[in-house]
Structure 1
């Protein structure tokens, strides 16, 4: 029997793998759906659900029912959990979120001695989400991300007595929140945080919650200057394809993924969402859906051959996704799964790590390098505006050299 080291870190009392108590399993499933709907990160959401499972276990031990949930019962639960030798982190840091869920789901009354800030924050977030969905037409994934990065600003202006004081919102408060929220992240994520906060401020202004536009006062995080698109070389593409063994099922799939990304410039999410119904073999066309839009692309010969080889070997799956997982349950790959394939192949090939979006850049740059126009690159990438595609013109050095005026001459 293995003995525990005397210097090992003490562990929290475990809860059963199969939840017990009055919250299991229906309320825990509601809690999981609620956290997902508000855009919590998977790790944060899991901690909230785990805390709910711990509450359910304690209620089972104490003989409390679902109809007995109230401020006093929750306070007793926190007191008992806090008295343990090792206290679970979620008891101190996630209890507020759990209370908000119980109020939103109707298991806890906000008027029975419960702080009103949680209800006001939740109502504000719900209204903000509706505005982004109805007025801006954003996708749910984008809405979830903006709530995840920006909704904490509402907590920063909620007072102890449960009132969201919009008049406290000024540039100083906003920038302090942005700086603190972005501290653990890199430049790209900090830029997303700024965009989310500005979106929240525009909504507050348009709905009369604030009376002045604060977006201009939000500081831009350092290091967010847009870089030039980076593609990959032909040798690197060959290296990726070289480690894909088309005689194996996984090799045929990975080879098809690399080929379709580098030749058609699909986003990882677009490749992940491809279904068998999107392939028109008779017309030689592929229907691509992404960013709320749909466009059709011709299937080049090499892409068609790679797809055909993979689809002949494709195992039976639970859905009609083109690219599916190898392990059960077999269903279509996620966006991260597609990008993870490219990262894994680049590691196997012994080159610098590459992710899926760089292959998309390569497809656009190859068009311009071959003499194609920005319009052709735009159609391939599915951009709505040509201005979005203009960034690729900056890396077409051959064309740019032709525009350079020799020193000492006046441009005509």
Structure 2
């Protein structure tokens, strides 16, 4: 086993070695990984010193050159940009390495444009991080196609080009994904027009996706399936207690996956029995904290959640022990469903389950809309389809003798 205490960092980064060592320990990295990261820090520090640079010279271009040199020299570990993330993140928080935004000019042209688009979504449109990242991912193929054609790829773009991309990309995609892609593409085209990168607005060239609201029936779990889902979590293990707490929150409160990932310790008001939820559009609303949800949270927070690893409620088990992402919560639900023998479904199925459970318990559609924090009553109206008791008087009697 490698001993991180025996790794000595020399050069311009030496003053930050002890702090980085403590950071790795706090994030839950093992001794071997900590030692490898410190050796990487020493190599980078000596490499910078040999070129007359200090930590402030760590631009994306310099980091890329260092990683390429390690690859060419035949190093077995830390041969890609991603391997540098723990060290660079720490140095940036210390004000040593240059923030990536400062070095945007060094990025490839597509990445530069996507970075500008992401800033536009945050600063001008007020979108949250998850939505920004999703939009950027959805429009990346479109920009890569156009920018590859040179400067004229955007300037000379026509409505036909937009429509051709839509037909080529969305034909094989699920309806929901295709609809989100169209929304993101319209947003990008507005940005390009506002920035003067295209001469005319091409938003109207994006065709609508054939989809009908309220056409389907919400698919929910019954009580037995919910019990099997929760029972699939090993309460004697740290990850099991965390997963049980997340699944209980999803089933009982009907939160979205991103809302669960965004919960912070300060959002739990134990004295009042409330939880603050940060929903779509940066809205904050309070919901009551049921007893079973509180018990599952307490079991995880007191015996499972790593101490001193941030203010988010739910953390990753493997290092770095940062906050869980929306995608991680969704995949957690899928794994639990498969363990319980229920097939594969994702977090939104549990939101439907919460709404259906409230309806069967006597809740009105208006009350369900308040709990789910719907902006429009029409969004909640889809649950009227599963209220069989209310629908039964509307059914016409079956004709006598008909088969």
TM over 0.5: yes
Cα 1:400–1:136, aligned 2, differ >3 Å: closer, same or farther?
Answer: farther
Question: Matched residue pairs, number?
Answer: 329
- Give the unaligned 5+ runs of structure 1: 1-15, 32-47, 62-101, 111-117
1:105 corresponds to: 103
Tell me which residue corresponds to 2:245.
256
The corresponding residue for 1:242 is: 231
Partner of 2:307: 317
In the alignment, structure 1 residue 295 sits paired with structure 2 residue 293? no
Corresponding residue number in structure 2 for 1:285: 274
Aligned mate of 1:190, from 178, 188, 193:
178
| Among 194, 205, 218, the residue aligned to 1:217 | 205
Contact 2:233 2:243 in 1 (8 A): yes
Q: Measured at CA, do residues 171 and 398 of structure 1 come closer, stay the same or move farther in structure 2, by a change above 3 Å?
A: farther
User: Which residue in the other structure is 1:75 paired with?
Assistant: none
Q: How many Å apart are 1:174 and its aligned residue?
A: 0.7
CA RMSD of aligned residues (A): 4.2
The answer to whether the Cα contact below 8 Å between 2:305 and 2:314 also exists between their aligned partners in 1 is no
With CA pairs under 8 Å and 6+ residues apart, which has the higher RCO, 1 or 2? 2
Alignment of 1:129-278 (within 5 A): 129-158=118-147, 162-164=150-152, 166=154, 168-182=156-170, 185-205=173-193, 210=198, 213-220=201-208, 227-278=216-267
Q: Give the alignment of 1:85-104 within 5 angstroms.
A: none
**Structure 2 runs not aligned, ≥5 long:** 1-38, 74-99
- Cα distance between partner residues in 1 of 2:58 and 2:325: 22
Deviations 1:239-280 (A, max 9, x none): 112223434444333332222211111122222222332222
- Aligned-pair CA distance for 1:358: 1.0
Superposition TM-score, scaled by structure 1 size: 0.65
> What displacement does 1:359 show?
0.8
Larger displacement relative to structure 2 (358-367 or 398-407): 398-407
Q: Secondary structure at the match of 1:199?
A: helix
Distance 2:140 2:174 in 1: 19
Give the aligned partner of residue 396 of structure 1.
387
Name the SS for the 1:287 alignment partner.
strand
- The 3-state SS of whatever aligns with 2:284 is strand
Whole-angstrom distance in 2 between the partners of 1:349 and 1:122: 42
